[in-house]
Structure 1
């Protein structure tokens, strides 16, 4: 069964900027989904900010194996209820791939628990992306390094928690470097952040960038059944303890009563 994938796009720049609209007439989300669908093992659809519930109602997330997220100009417009829904889906086992300026999205910052800040420069610089982990599944089929002729610079320090793995490192024409492909696991969900993807450049038409995204979907997919309630914190009755147990001391809660959250 193909990996059920949703590409979420903010879909703001495509409607307000002529350069972006010319590069991505169907939207960046559509271009990314088309690249993913070139892999028979992936079935990608799209969702946007402007749709009801931002295109991510609970029923759809329940049937999503991997979610890709691109946002930039409207992070604050994303409803907190949808953010909570996405975060809980990740904890329960949905894969998440955060792209470029999505580092400042509510979803990513909540999962990281850090500011996710960085330095940046919009000057059409050449970016050289190096494999930092040649054997990693996300790097499958890629050369030891490749270049993107025009990109926005992101520079260290990058305000993220220590990654589980660093897959790619970038060097920019102005001299800065950046951890441009990094992974984490949150609950049962695999997370990959991939830096390239500035809207005014044709980055998502680059075949090697597209290969990274296809590889990342396969890596992020967790085939295990989704955890039914990833936020459950049950009060276990004394009578259900695996070993004989006698209660002692005072109690704040009655048997079966929910605790404070």
Structure 2
């Protein structure tokens, strides 16, 4: 079993009727239900819980953290960001979804502004698989069509990804690096673009399959913790 925590601001769903209609229980619950399997032990956490639901105990029990955020990025306490950052460096996986590109934790891990072009125009998005041999692309067709999504366009201000898996084309002509992996410390990070709050993207079977694949890819690797600092020789000199 992989222990997964799905974190969501859970603000839009309580404030905006058009979002409530799509995700009446919240994006986190839609993802929890859509990803449910006998291989994942899923819990949820939200912004307004104590310590944003991300206590030391919760994070120590989390193999992979899934993060969705948008309007409440600045409300996330810096010491919680530092706590999550430390766990990623120790080996916890992190899946960053859609507008969480602007989250404090993603920007801290990337070391860049993570800005991009965007447009809300109900456009078609075609997500092309550009690395079909990668485990995150397992079981995914050559491309995924989403009839309505928010546009994200290049330039995406991130470091060059360690692996590029998906590339999106939008009806207005833009393209975007929509599925990227990064390695930080002992942790693995997967950024996946689709998931605007007013569209039912997280009910799409292929989108859920990608996220599920990402969770299995990002789970901690069982290996010795690196030892650093002044070190005695292993052999007698």
TM-score, length-normalised on structure 1?
0.87
> What secondary structure does 1:157 align onto?
coil
What stretches of structure 1 move > 3 A for 4+ residues in a row?
A: 240-245
**Superposition pairs for residues 209-224 of structure 1, below 5 Å?**
209-224=207-222
Residues 1:69 and 2:67 aligned together: yes
* Contact map agreement 1:8 1:47 (CA 8 A) in 2: yes
Q: In structure 2, what is the Cα distance between the partners aligned to 1:226 and 1:127?
A: 42
Q: C-alpha separation between the residues in 1 aligned to 2:70 and 2:185? A: 26
Pair member with larger Rg: 1
Matches within 5 A, 1:1-261: 2-37=1-36, 39-224=37-222, 227=225, 234=229, 236=230, 240=232, 242=234
Q: Please state how far the C-alpha of 1:63 moved relative to its aligned partner.
A: 0.7
Contact 1:92–1:226 (8 Å) recurs in 2: no
Please provide the CA RMSD for this pair: 1.7
Contact 1:36 1:43 in 2 (8 A): no
Alignment deviations for residues 133-192 of structure 1 (CA, whole Å, 9 cap, x no partner): 111111111110120010000000100001011000000000000000000110000000
Structure 2 runs not aligned, ≥5 long? none
Aligned residues: 237
Distance 1:33 1:139 in 2: 20
**Partners of 2:33 and 2:72 in 1: how far apart?**
24
Q: Tell me, which stretches of 5 or more residues in structure 1 are unaligned? A: 246-261
